[in-house]
């Protein structure tokens, strides 16, 4: 059995084109699982992996920044990276965003339904000179913070307070610092998002007024845009950037172009900082494709390091034209695993290529190179156990889906840093990456359908990913095994639309 790859924090990564070898990119080629095969009489080939205990980690992450500066984008990306929420994944902390704007809209909607009184949330509502509205907004921020703290005390790990929090008064005495200080074991970090790029600000404003914000419902787009710009100016009149020397904070300028850290300590705080340092908002797409059909696919075997079948080679030959059609002259880097079926699939593409050991298929351990029928006949109890909990089940001498998620963390980090990437991977690997970008739960992840001879294009947006699929007319076997207890399970439909009300009320 091979030694696991080290995952090393490196805050000095600057070359976006060449990920370091320590991350498993460009490393030595491996030739499939080397796990020894035990005698056929062995029963009990694996076990289930349990979620780590993070119960002692308690952080209030408070957003700071003007409107249209990417605060909600950063908070939702961070939540996706950290969260578990009992059914989700990645680092598996329990994370929730408490958005003050959602709370404001939800309460206004309830008030309108109950009393028929519709509140005016145009730009004048956000003026510092509007004493009554300022009092209401401050109360909403305090109520949202209180909900967050109570949620942390019930078992949450990271509560993200998504609001402008734009003045020192809001951040200090009788506000966030003072309230959090009353709670033992809870830390507060401030995350300030600064944007000086007019093009990015204009794009954020356009997104705000064109994506269904109920503040501007039924208003012409031009009117809504003018009012939102006035709202920004109301905040600019009183905005104070973070300069308080005693605060723990991160300042992200132009979404990753510059990062300032102050008093960031401990593992979880460091993970948050490292992740945020690698984000960017440049337009880009991520392309996923499984390798072409392999000899093992045709034979119904899992794992191994077999070469492509004749139809798989046809897919590899047809890919250059498909990629040119949908990417054109845009720069592109191709990533493959170290297994020959992915390298063969990418062989005709005229782009820079990197091999990643981290992209190798889920290691089936003692079941490597066996068919599912052989596994069921040889290890019937364990075959059933894996079907019962496929995400957590670990093959002896091999891996579980949960193990693969941990292994893919450096790949995720590098994908967030890069621009256009085409990944030739394997079914389990691409399921994990797909679930990350679409924020899908653990229960569905092992059953996401990633067919052969299909290129999946994901285009990251502010609140999710848009998706397109391109399937070449080259036949291949279907390796998808549906969930036994529910053969017709449907993976939730992903959306890049923003949620304006949420569940807070």
Rounded distance between C-alpha atoms, residue 444 and residue 469, angstroms = 20
Q: What angle do CA 171, 172, 173 make, to 5 degrees?
A: 140
Rounded distance between C-alpha atoms, residue 448 and residue 46, angstroms = 23
- Residue among 161, 291, 438, 453 flagged as catalytic: 291
Strand, helix or coil for residue 198: helix
Q: What angle do CA 500, 203, 503 make, to 5 degrees?
A: 10
Rounded distance between C-alpha atoms, residue 69 and residue 197, angstroms = 10
Q: Express the helix, strand and coil content of the chain in percent, nearest 5 each.
A: 40, 15, 45
Rounded distance between C-alpha atoms, residue 414 and residue 391, angstroms = 24
| E strand segments, 85-168 | 95-99, 158-162
Rounded distance between C-alpha atoms, residue 315 and residue 317, angstroms = 5
Rounded distance between C-alpha atoms, residue 476 and residue 470, angstroms = 15
- Residue among 177, 225, 305, 361 flagged as catalytic: 361
Rounded distance between C-alpha atoms, residue 465 and residue 467, angstroms = 6
Residue 162 annotated among the catalytic residues of the structure: yes
Q: Residue 346 in contact with residue 291, Cβ under 8 Å?
A: no
- Residue among 92, 162, 360, 444 flagged as catalytic: 162
Residue 215 annotated among the catalytic residues of the structure: no
> Which helix (H) or strand (E) segment is 268 a member of?
helix 267-277
Rounded distance between C-alpha atoms, residue 399 and residue 367, angstroms = 11
- b/e sequence 64-86, b meaning 16+ C-beta within 10 Å: bbbbbbbbbbbbbbbbbbbbbbe
DSSP string computed for 145-187: HHHHHHHHHTT-SEEEEES---SHHHHSTTSHHHHHHTSTT-E
Q: Residue 354 in contact with residue 25, Cβ under 8 Å?
A: yes
Q: Which residues pair with 465 in a beta bridge?
A: 460
**DSSP β-ladder status, 187-194 and 249-253:** parallel
The residues annotated as belonging to the active site are 162, 291, 361
């Amino acid at each position: 059995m091979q030694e696991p790859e080290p995952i090393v924090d490196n805050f000095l990564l600057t070359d976006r084109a060449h990920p370091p070898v320590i991350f498993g990119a460009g490393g030595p080629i491996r030739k499939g699982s080397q796990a020894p095969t035990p005698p056929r009489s062995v029963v009990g080939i694996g076990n289930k992996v349990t979620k780590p205990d993070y119960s002692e980690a308690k952080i209030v992450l408070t957003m700071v920044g003007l409107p249209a500066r990417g605060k909600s984008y950063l908070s939702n990306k961070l939540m996706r990276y950290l969260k578990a929420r009992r059914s989700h994944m990645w680092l598996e902390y329990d994370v929730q965003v408490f958005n003050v704007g959602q709370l404001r809209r939800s309460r206004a909607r309830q008030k309108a339904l109950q009393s028929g009184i519709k509140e005016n949330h145009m730009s004048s509502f956000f003026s510092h000179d509007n004493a009554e509205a300022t009092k209401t907004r401050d109360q909403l921020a305090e109520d949202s913070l209180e909900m967050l703290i109570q949620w942390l005390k019930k078992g949450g790990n990271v509560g993200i307070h998504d609001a402008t929090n734009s003045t020192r008064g809001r951040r200090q005495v009788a506000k966030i610092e003072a309230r959090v200080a009353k709670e033992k074991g809870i830390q507060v970090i401030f995350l300030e998002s600064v944007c000086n790029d007019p093009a990015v600000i204009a794009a954020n404003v356009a997104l705000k007024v064109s994506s269904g914000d109920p503040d501007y419902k039924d208003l012409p787009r031009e009117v809504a845009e003018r009012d939102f710009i006035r709202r920004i100016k109301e905040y600019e009149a009183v905005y104070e950037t973070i300069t308080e020397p005693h605060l723990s904070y991160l300042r992200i300028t132009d979404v990753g172009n510059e990062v300032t850290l102050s008093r960031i300590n401990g593992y979880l705080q460091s993970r948050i900082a490292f992740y945020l340092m690698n984000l960017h908002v440049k337009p880009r797409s991520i392309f996923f494709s499984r390798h072409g059909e392999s000899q093992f696919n045709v034979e119904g075997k899992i794992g191994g390091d077999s070469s492509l079948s004749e139809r798989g080679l046809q897919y590899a030959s047809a890919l250059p034209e498909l990629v040119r059609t949908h990417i054109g002259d845009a720069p592109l880097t191709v990533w493959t695993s170290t297994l020959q079926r992915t390298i063969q699939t990418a062989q005709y593409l005229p782009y820079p290529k990197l091999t990643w050991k981290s992209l190798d298929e889920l290691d089936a351990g003692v079941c490597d190179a066996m068919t599912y029928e052989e596994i069921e006949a040889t290890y019937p109890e364990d075959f059933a156990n894996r079907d019962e909990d496929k995400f957590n089940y670990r093959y002896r001498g091999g891996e579980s889906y949960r193990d693969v998620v941990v292994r893919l963390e450096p790949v995720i980090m590098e994908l967030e840093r890069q621009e256009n990437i085409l990944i030739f991977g394997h079914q389990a690997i691409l399921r994990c990456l797909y679930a990350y970008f679409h924020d899908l739960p653990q229960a569905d992840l092992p059953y996401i359908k990633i067919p052969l001879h299909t290129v999946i294009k994901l285009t990251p947006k502010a609140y999710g990913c848009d998706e397109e699929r391109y399937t070449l007319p080259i036949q291949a076997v279907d390796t998808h095994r549906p969930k036994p207890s529910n053969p017709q399970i449907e993976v939730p439909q992903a959306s890049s639309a923003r949620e304006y009300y949420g569940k807070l009320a």
